[in-house]
Structure 1
Amino acid sequence: MNRKIGVVGLGYVGLPVAVAFGKEHNIIGFDINENRISTLKQGTDYTNEVTGEELKEVSIDFTSDGSKLKEVDFIIVAVPTPINEHNQPDLTPLVKAAETVGKNLVNGTIVVFESTVYPGATEEVCVPVLERFSGMKCGVDFFVGYSPERINPGDKKHTFTTITKVVSGQTPEVLEVVADTYASVVKAGVHKASSIKVAEAAKVIENTQRDVNIALMNELALIFDRLDIDTAEVLEAAGTKWNFLNFSPGLVGGHCIGVDPYYLTHKAQAVGYQPDVILAGRRINDDLGKFIARTLVKKLIKAGIGVQGAMVTVLGLTFKENVPDLRNSKVIDVIRELQEYDIKVQVTDVEAEAIEAMREYGVSLSTIADLKPADAVVFAVPHREYVEGSWNVVQSLLKDKTGIVVDVKSCLDKALKPDNIELWRL
């Protein structure tokens, strides 16, 4: 493998990819965020996906200068693919990245996209942009491939090099080059998809499958709540069967599970099919934050606590545990719904950056030491520090160590619950 590699987009996905290749090859790492480039050059990854030691060990030329991409002939594009306020795919970052690559494309280059898209997007959206800005012809002057990202933020076990890499290329020859390039660093090996569309579809259904399964658990939780049955206990009992799938209810946010299904449903509707099951799952998961908040409001009323002006502490704001990533966190849905009832909400998170929380959601983060005693605590995100502190942490946040606790992910041991606390869990 003698390709000169460049990585476009150095976020949660792109940086681990760049570091993996940078351990074996000299590569170019490009990002439009100059602050990101500056901090990486200083040996700091504020996403916490890569350590300072790892950054010191790799050979990566971090840059915000797109012209540096002229020095490579194998470009990996790993930029975000979000949705807009109407839950439609927003391909703006991907198109802008393709424009940058196109302007600096050299003859014979292979461009591999890792961003999650709907089947057909690489060839229907990205290729025309590359051709327009390069003045070259795809399949003649340059080539494309697709290799879906499988990065799981915060997961130190399933990493870029230990997860089988799905690869594809527009021709058999390109596929072999893409496969060999990734195989040079991915220890788990590669799986050669028969086409780019197959690889795109494989990625988008991975998270759609998880979304639908979690939606089922959330719907069961809604049913069991009305039946006054503890969902966690039901799942524990059902889980004793060998083929019962291990899913649990919870808020579904982040940049993958809560977003990717909309890429598939968008494409399905475009070809005349209404994806009822997938959209039903999305609707259930998107509405869960409001359900949690409204349940807490009912608990406050039953406890004789005046809702208007009541103080509620929300423990955790990131989209999942042990990561600083705030993108598409559904905890904000709980917060905003509580505020609709004129409840005072204070939020703390040991992982999130206060500046990012304010910029993303207009939420002011407090340290635990600065929190005022609360009438209720919403244990929203089970960061390691909170889980280890268990009931001691949660109880310390309540007025006179008594009140209501909402345990979204059922992380607190029900058997150890203090007598003066009312516990509700999803």
Structure 2
Amino acid sequence: MARKLGAIILAAGKGTRMRSKRPKVLHPVCGRPILDYVLAAVRGLDPAQVIVVVSDPAVREAFSAAGVTFVDQAEPHGTGHALLQARGKATPPTLLVLPGDVPLITSSVLSDFLEQHEKERADLTVLSVVLPAPGSYGRIVRDQDGHPTRIVEARDATADELGITEVNTGIYALRNDPFLWESLAGLGTGNAQREYYLTDLVSCYATAGRRVAAVPTPEPAAVMGVNSRAELARAEGMMRDRIAAELMESGVRIVDPAHTYLEPGVKVGMDTVIHPGTHLRGGTSIGEDCEIGPDAWIDGSRVEAGSRVRYSVLEGARVREGCDIGPYAHLRPGADVGPNVRIGNFVEVKAARVRRGTKAGHLTYIGDAEIGEEVNIGAGTITCNYDGKRKHRTVIGDRAFIGSNTALVAPVEIGEDAIIGAGSTITADVPPRTLGLGRARQVIKERKD
């Protein structure tokens, strides 16, 4: 069916219950906009066309490179009116219509639904779900033979209808024919919201003798919509649980999944242990046999096998095999350390390569630098890389020893096996195997009191 399928995502809702200036579908779940998940699920079906109905220009801008067709709903007159905006633009013979606020939806749920739609040979099929407490969801009303006859919104339902537990998910499969668009154009607003309800299509089709089906999904979580901050938090928790379950299934130990914060696309190797308070974000990759956390924030970074990161922040950094990072270290973009490097307490590394076996144990800033192998960097060392206008590089050769409280004023190069005396301010190159000192002579005088 794939290439005969068109998908229409309704993403024009204002999301007033979110109490936000941001469009609802742009709110993040585990670091990605809600709409991004819906698009990913739809793309998994390989549709011939994807249309997104929007009202806020911010949505169009955020997904300008998504390869979809945008249709504007200038005024929010309801879901039926939103779908009508795709008239004349949707061309495939079968249309999948779904809301843009269901971040937990999956390609497999949609694929199974479309398979049932074809099996039923229906003109309109609703994906439904059975909930013990349906709340504000629209109820699926069936006739005595079990055929769907209409969907009634909770605010318009009678007491008996509110007792129905099969509800509408807002996901439909439709035959793309003139009857669809004529029915949409003929919808009325005789409801509590004074809007054109897409749900009213069911009664239109049933009354006209068209074949209507409702297919319950066995995965209620997958069709959960997000309409409030509380539901957003709930969706995020469920997404984290899904990601954590996949990682644990692959051989990762997550000590406390409820307090571990993971984004889609994060990769973690076998036998790695993740402690509570860890955030893995932005396509981060963790190798095998690592120990991550507690309280590590790792964003867009790569940590290779056998490394340990505790109580530290990594952003756009690379940690090679066997490194020990933290506690309270900060690796900024362009930091590349290891293998077997120690970056300790309150050490910051930025745009610097720190090579094998080097140790910077505490209270150090390494920026715009090239550090060789087996270098010892004493506490309080600073690479003074910025002159107020430009950045300059510091180069430290293999096995150099940098004494505590040293200021290396870049551009400067420290040769192999050189020693820098503690407390020095170094403004000129220090040749290999020499001692560099740059400090005032100590003076001791008698007190006169």
With the length of structure 2 as denominator, give the TM-score of the two structures: 0.29
Structure ranking higher on relative contact order (CA contacts 8 Å, 6+ apart) = 1
Q: Which has the larger radius of gyration?
A: 2
Which structure shows the higher helix fraction? 1
